[in-house]
Structure 1
Amino acid sequence: MNKKSCLNCGHSISDEFCAHCGQKADTARITPHSLLKNDILGSIWHVEAKFFQTLKDILFRPGKTAMDYISGKRIRYNNFISLLLILFSFNVLGLHYYEKFAPPEILANDSEIKDFFSKYSKTILFVIIPMLAINAYFLFKRIKLNIAEHFIIGTVSLLGILIIFLLDDIVSLIGLWKPVSKIFEVIDKIIFGLSILFPAITYWNAFKNSYSKPGLLWRVSVLYVLMGIESTVISLILYEIF
């Protein structure tokens, strides 16, 4: 079998990738066909497939996804921090269009919640994850994860909440259409309830094989109590400062 040289670094290649720099062994001269198939369509498909696969795994198996990522199985996922910023931007955009198209009487009913999210969204983003991480670090000591690894689980929890909020934005926009408004009000409440429960779903999915059901239940319950107290304190501080 003839060995090829890597076009990037010149080292010999005997496998699918160069062992020295990681470039693919089948890298060749660019042709109109390869440009369309590999560079354009291939890149778009790879990015989109990976992006939506990551969203799906976070939404339907959040705890398993977080634990896989922590254990080193990362090639199938987008970077969680980058994804957090992307979803956060989408949520801000969705809120903007909701406020743009919603009638004044609807905005008047939920203006306090919307205004609070608009004003303190960045603070909320950077506070939820550390709160989850620190609380979970002490509540789930048996798992022996460090604080940074608990930070990843908290990030996945927030990513799931942001995905649900994005779905809620879409539902809210569709609900502005009068013939379906009542149905979508119910759907909106269900989605909001899921967003509240999502951290519990994440930790239950992550640690269900490490604790008994009663043990996991009281730990998740205490996590919510602590988060509720801490969120109230932070909201009061923000209110007093601003």
Structure 2
Amino acid sequence: MNHSSKCLNCDYEINHNYCSNCGQKTAIHRITFNHFVSHDLLHGLFHLEKGMLYTAKEVLTRPGKAALDYIEGKRIRYYNVFYFILILIGVNLFLSGYYDKFYEYYISKFPEHVSIIQTKLDKFMNDNAKIIIFSIVPVLALNGFILFRKRKLNLSEHFIIAAFTFLGILLIVTANNILSFFAFVKHLDFISDVSDFISIIAIFTLATISYYQTFKEFYKKRSFVIRVFMFATLLMIELLVFAIFLIGYSTNWFTSDFTY
């Protein structure tokens, strides 16, 4: 074990167990196989899972309150929400690819034009996962910023509320995509249909709970319901525009050659 009066990471003067400048421990072990496995690897995996599981539980059970806790500075227990979103997008793209393969194998092949469109959509989603995050979350944030002003949160704080809400929605979508594989299991295919129905209700309920927990002290119920309705309407319009763009991209609306 190595003790030093200066941080080995940033060369800052230290007199406690952690560097006050960069946060590194002052007691540094030499890396050995036993220490690597027992401490670095297992310890890191445990805390990663713990942070992710805690964050998942919070965004599913108390998304609005969790977002407010994070805004107020209670952040150490939460896994990075945007990293989590990226991971879930990757998982869902993976599941989507295998669902298509199962569909072709067990049910029927997609028509050629549908297959081409699906391939282009998958490629677009793969290539632009980060862009999708930084478009959906800001849209939710801007809608909330416009409609819920009384709490006097700035736009960046609305980003956090939107991110926590969107993460909860993605967790529901992921669970639904996993259950969708029951469509290929005889006598259990009804589970897929039930899951689709429940997930739609769950997504709307989670989004409503998230914003209700965040702003319930600042609006009467009637006023809040009107704002939720306006929020949903705005979001539907925005999603419609995005869907039109995707359809245009996948069917070459924007790249057609015009001849005269």
Do the structures match in fold with TM over 0.5? yes
Pick the aligned partner of 1:104 from 100, 103, 107: 107
CA RMSD, 1 decimal: 3.0
AA in 2 matched with 1:219: R
- Counterpart CA distance in 2 for 1:7 and 1:229 is 53
Pick the aligned partner of 1:177 from 185, 192, 202: 185
Structure 1 counterpart of 2:257: none
- Counterpart CA distance in 2 for 1:33 and 1:235 is 52
Gaps of 5+ in 2: 255-260
AA in 2 matched with 1:50: G
SS of equivalent residue, structure 1 residue 72: coil
Q: Percent identity?
A: 35
Deviations 1:37-80 (A, max 9, x none): 21121111111211222222122211122222222222222222
| 1:33 to partner: Cα distance | 4.4
Pick the aligned partner of 1:217 from 222, 225, 230: 225
Superposed structure 1 runs of 4+ greater than 6 Å apart = none
- Counterpart CA distance in 2 for 1:107 and 1:169 is 19
Structure 1 counterpart of 2:35: 34
- Counterpart CA distance in 2 for 1:237 and 1:10 is 52
| 1:96 to partner: Cα distance | 0.8
| 1:175 to partner: Cα distance | 3.4
Structure 1 counterpart of 2:13: 11
Change (3 A) 1:11 1:82: same
AA in 1 matched with 2:191: I
| 1:214 to partner: Cα distance | 2.3
CA contact (8 A) 1:157 1:199 kept: yes
CA contact (8 A) 2:145 2:158 kept: yes
Structure 1 counterpart of 2:243: 235
- Name whichever of 114-123 and 87-96 sits farther off: 114-123
- Name whichever of 114-123 and 223-232 sits farther off: 114-123
Pick the aligned partner of 1:200 from 208, 215, 224: 208
CA contact (8 A) 2:95 2:177 kept: yes
Structure 2 counterpart of 1:137: 145
- Name whichever of 155-164 and 230-239 sits farther off: 230-239
- Counterpart CA distance in 2 for 1:182 and 1:78 is 35
Is 1:162 the counterpart of 2:170? The answer is yes
Aligned pairs, number: 236
The structure where helix makes up a greater share of residues is 1
| 1:89 to partner: Cα distance | 0.8
- Counterpart CA distance in 1 for 2:221 and 2:109 is 42
Change (3 A) 1:7 1:131: closer
Structure 1 counterpart of 2:87: 86
SS of equivalent residue, structure 2 residue 150: helix
Gaps of 5+ in 1: none
CA contact (8 A) 1:63 1:205 kept: yes
1:113-132 matches, within 5 Å, as 115=118, 118=122, 121=125, 122=128, 125-132=133-140
Change (3 A) 1:202 1:237: same
